[in-house]
């Protein structure tokens, strides 16, 4: 079983200036592999302003800064990569926009077929979910942990588990072979702050991996 790491998604709405110190707390709370900026229903300039504030904080800590949905803006603003869904830019167009060296991740819901297509096309990771009920991005897809097990045995491309994941329920996904656990509210809504949320998740991942 490969080491599982934490992948954090931002809330869908935020003010960059007030969010910046919360991001610093989260990233200083423990190991984080990636931060995905996922803003919904905002204009391009709003996204650019958020990137300008949050990207340097993230990259200075050797954490990959991934933009959701917009390969063009990711390339323009110096992001490390982009995450695209099935209804966003197709993988080939996203790859062309960000270049060969950037990260491109693809949402694959609960589909082995979509994931294999993305991996064979060159995706850097595939994302499965939602594994648990979530209000952040409601999904009628509900894969079983066995999907992660099958993927990790069959393919070398990393997989991300997403959807309602917390420190309390992540163990089956870690043990099934998820390379990354993607969380939102488990960090940003943690009662003791985002740093404590990251610490708790890392401890839970480590405990699950240990047995």
> Is 185 marked as binding a ligand?
yes
> Is 184 marked as binding a ligand?
yes
> Is 69 marked as binding a ligand?
yes
Q: Is the dihedral of CA 36, 42, 47, 53 positive or negative?
A: negative
Residue 107 burial (CB count, 10 A):
24
Tokens of 91: 């993988």
> Is 46 marked as binding a ligand?
no
> Is 137 marked as binding a ligand?
yes
Measured CA to CA in angstroms, residue 57 lies from 9, 22, 182 at distances of 15, 11, 19
Which class for 22: exposed (0-12), middle (13-18), buried (19 or more C-beta within 10 A)? middle
> Is 10 marked as binding a ligand?
no
Question: Taking the chain, what is the end-to-end CA distance rounded to the nearest angstrom?
Answer: 11
Please name the residues in contact with 50: beta carbons below 8 A apart, sequence gap of 6 or more.
14, 16, 37, 39
DSSP state of 73: H
> Is 32 marked as binding a ligand?
no
Alpha carbon distance 176, 178 (integer Å): 6
CB 126 within 8 A of CB 143: no
Residue 23 burial (CB count, 10 A):
24
> Is 39 marked as binding a ligand?
yes
Alpha carbon distance 21, 25 (integer Å): 6
> Is 36 marked as binding a ligand?
yes
> Is 38 marked as binding a ligand?
yes
Known binding residues are 36-40, 68-69, 88, 107, 134-137, 164, 184-185
Annotated binding site for Mg(2+): 69, 88
């Amino acid at each position: 079983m490969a080491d599982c790491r934490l992948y954090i998604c931002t809330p869908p709405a935020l003010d960059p200036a007030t969010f910046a110190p919360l991001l610093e707390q989260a990233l200083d709370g423990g190991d984080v592999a990636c931060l995905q900026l996922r803003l919904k229903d905002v204009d391009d300039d709003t996204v650019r302003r958020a990137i300008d504030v949050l990207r340097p904080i993230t990259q200075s800590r050797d954490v990959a800064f991934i933009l959701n949905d917009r390969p063009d803006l990711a390339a323009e603003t110096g992001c490390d990569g982009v995450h695209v869904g099935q209804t966003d830019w197709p993988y080939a167009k996203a790859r062309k926009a960000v270049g060969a060296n950037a990260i491109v991740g693809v949402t694959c819901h609960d589909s082995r077929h979509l994931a294999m297509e993305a991996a064979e096309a060159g995706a850097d990771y595939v994302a499965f979910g939602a594994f648990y009920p979530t209000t952040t991005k409601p999904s009628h897809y509900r894969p079983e942990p066995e999907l992660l097990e099958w993927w990790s045995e069959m393919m070398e491309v990393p997989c991300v588990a997403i959807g309602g994941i917390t420190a309390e329920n992540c163990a089956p996904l870690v043990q099934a072979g998820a390379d990354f656990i993607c969380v939102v509210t488990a960090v940003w809504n943690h009662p003791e702050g985002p740093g404590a949320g990251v610490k708790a998740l890392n401890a839970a991942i480590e405990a699950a991996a240990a047995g």
